[in-house]
Amino acid sequence: MTTMLRSYVQGRWVEGQGTLATLVNPATEEPLARTGTGGIDFAAALGHARGGAPALREMTFAQRGEVLRAWSKALHAHRDELIGLAIANGGNTRGDAKFDVDGAIATIAHYADLGAQLGSVRALRDGDAVQLGRTARYAGIHLWVPRDGVAVHINAFNFPAWGTAEKAAASLLAGMPIISKPATSTALVASRLAELGIETGALPPGSFTFLAGGPGDLLDRLGPQDVVAFTGSSQTAAKLREQLARRGARLNVEADSLNAAVLGPDVTPDSATWDLFVADVVRDIIQKAGQKCTAVRRIFAGPQLDAVQEALVERLSAVKVGDPARSEIGMGPLSTADQLRDVRAGIGKLAREAETLIGGDKSVETKGYFVAPTLLLARDPAAAAAVHRDEVFGPVATLCAVPGDSAQAAAQLAAGLVQRGGGGLVCSVYSDDRDFLRAFVLAVAPYHGRIYLGSEKVAGQTMGPGTVLPQLVHGGPGHAGGGEELGGLRGLQLYSQRVALQGDRALLDSIAPAPEKQ
């Protein structure tokens, strides 16, 4: 029996009318739920959400933090149920599902903590006051205030819990009401997460709207105080940029990324740094069947190329692919039939310029959207094009040979190849050679939102480059969309307007007191 998902608009749960989408279990293709947003009055929904802004703005950061705390606790109390839904609707193994669900809980809890730390203020100070006149009396301050609009969140199919939660946490703490729209194909988890938030009773009326399907004409109704935070493909992002430029709404884009993992020439196969590199790369290829925006797509190695190839092929050959409801399975299917088609086509393109070492574009089972972990080898990556351009959103990566006989030359050559990705979310580099790292990191830094330095000193402590942490910014320039989210309080800036106030210092302090602790 399939469930009917509902949207939460104007303070009520409603079922969509007309054409409905069917959500399936991607391992079995069995239908699980149906959903749609036909019949929803988007103008009225938007009006109701706008009505939620004054109440949120009136709350202190500590009070907004309490709303988040209640939500995070509710998710924690229903963790197993959410994990079960992610296994069924997302093709997730239990480990993949925990990654999404626990990431959601931890990120909301992190923003709840930040709210508690900011205490009784309602607007964030940016830097210290500056003296503008002859005396300290005439001064200026910079302030981040919540934008006077609605934040529309459009999420990708791969992280229905975490994606919904990370955007919601930053918006609510900043003081902006939300209209949240998950990807339709995996909306079961996001829908339950939304229900649990509403059921806390902590969200002020209007502050949270949930659309279990398409956004109708909502985006054409937005204005300059509104924000759209989008995560998804570059193609959809391009459409939204055009559409929203006409409306003047602010748009943040988190899109594709050809993330690179680079092995320093100093790292030998018997070292902790080597083990970390191999473990991180294998995890990134198979976790969530490679459907992570931060997953490594290009692996660069120099003198150790043959040993890297051998280690990765050995580890990937041992991965059991199948229905993730079975505990022995190490990797589940792709999330949708469209994904399967796109990934197989993407592997085909890569295989025209790189040699397939393991896996390939054949389907693995007759039912379900399975592909095998796939590793290719580009012996001359400088001559490759698709390897640096096309994100194949599945368990697929290309090992690339980096020539260069000195650390300095290797750093320069690797950096040049990494930059060919046109801007990424995260680049990981593994080395214990400080000169190599300094040269490499500074060369690739302008092309990334985050750089992960794997070394023997951190080997026992990291969760790998693929884990997005609420403390650090997430996003990247160029190909990755140019957006930025998270990064602790930095994540509130997307939903805020920075304003300079100048005048009598005592007056400024009374209008916008500095936080008690920050």
Q: Cβ(206)–Cβ(44) under 8 Å?
A: no
Binding residues for ligand NAP, rule CB under 6 A, total 25
425 binds ligand NAP (CB under 6 A): yes
3-class DSSP state of 212 = coil
Q: Is-contact 96 159, C-beta < 8 A?
A: no
388, 258 contact by CB (below 8 A)? yes
Find the residue with minimal CB distance to ligand NAP.
232
Residue 46's contacts (CB-CB under 8 Å, 6 or more residues apart) are 150, 179, 218, 221, 222
Site membership for ligand NAP, residue 214 (CB under 6 A) = yes
Stretch in the footprint of ligand NAP (CB under 6 A) among 57-65, 100-108, 170-178, 253-261 = 253-261
427 is catalytic: no
Residues 6+ apart with CB under 8 A from 189: 82, 85, 86, 89, 90, 100, 101, 160, 161
Q: Which of 256, 284, 323, 361 binds ligand NAP (CB under 6 A)?
A: 256
- Pull the structure tokens for residue 1: 């029996």
Q: Find the shortest distance in angstroms from Cβ 11 to ligand NAP.
A: 23
Residue from 10, 191, 209, 231 that binds ligand NAP (CB under 6 A)? Answer: 231
Question: According to CB under 6 A, which one of 67, 88, 212, 255 is a site residue for ligand NAP?
Answer: 255
Residues 6+ away with beta carbon under 8 Å from 254: 229, 230, 231, 232, 293, 425, 474, 475, 480, 481, 483, 485
- When asked if residue 441 is in the footprint of ligand NAP (CB under 6 A), the reply is no
Round to whole Å and give the CA distance between 66 and 434.
44
Spatial contact of 212 and 191, defined as CB atoms under 8 Å apart:
yes
Which residue from 489, 325, 302 is spatially nearest to 411, judged by alpha carbons?
302
How does DSSP classify residue 448?
E
Position among 2, 236, 363, 502 found at the interface with ligand NAP (CB under 6 A): 236
CA separation for the pair 14, 450 (Å, rounded): 40
Return the residues of window 145-164 that contact ligand NAP according to CB under 6 A: 154-159
Q: Give me the least distance between CB of 517 and ligand NAP, in Å please.
A: 31
Based on the shown chain and the rule CB under 6 A, indicate whether residue 90 belongs to the binding site for ligand NAP.
no
Q: Which stretch binds ligand NAP (CB under 6 A): 182-190, 310-318, 403-411, 431-439?
A: 182-190
Q: Which of 177, 232, 394, 491 binds ligand NAP (CB under 6 A)?
A: 232
Q: Establish if 104 lies at the interface with ligand NAP (CB under 6 A).
A: no
Q: Examine residue 252 and tell whether it contacts ligand NAP (CB under 6 A).
A: no
Asked if residue 166 binds ligand NAP (CB under 6 A), the reply is no
Q: Does 20 bind ligand NAP (CB under 6 A)?
A: no
Which C-beta is closer to ligand NAP: that of 155 or that of 304?
A: 155
Residue closer to ligand NAP (CB basis): 425 or 489: 425
Residues linked to residue 21 through DSSP beta bridges, in sequence order: 35
Nearer to ligand NAP, 338 or 516 (CB): 338
The residue range among 107-115, 248-256, 410-418, 457-465 that interacts with ligand NAP, by the rule CB under 6 A, is: 248-256
Residue type, 353: E
> Exposed/middle/buried for 230, CB within 10 Å: 0-12, 13-18, 19+?
buried
Residue 254 C-beta: closest distance to ligand NAP, Å: 3
- State which of positions 390-419 bind ligand NAP (CB under 6 A): 391, 393
In which element (H, E) is residue 502 found?
A: strand 496-504
Please say if 195 is a catalytic residue: no
Q: Tokens 């399939």 appear where?
A: 2
Q: Which residues bind ligand NAP (CB under 6 A)?
A: 154-159, 181, 183-185, 214-215, 231-233, 236, 239, 254-256, 293, 391, 393, 425, 480
Q: Which residues are catalytic?
A: 254, 293
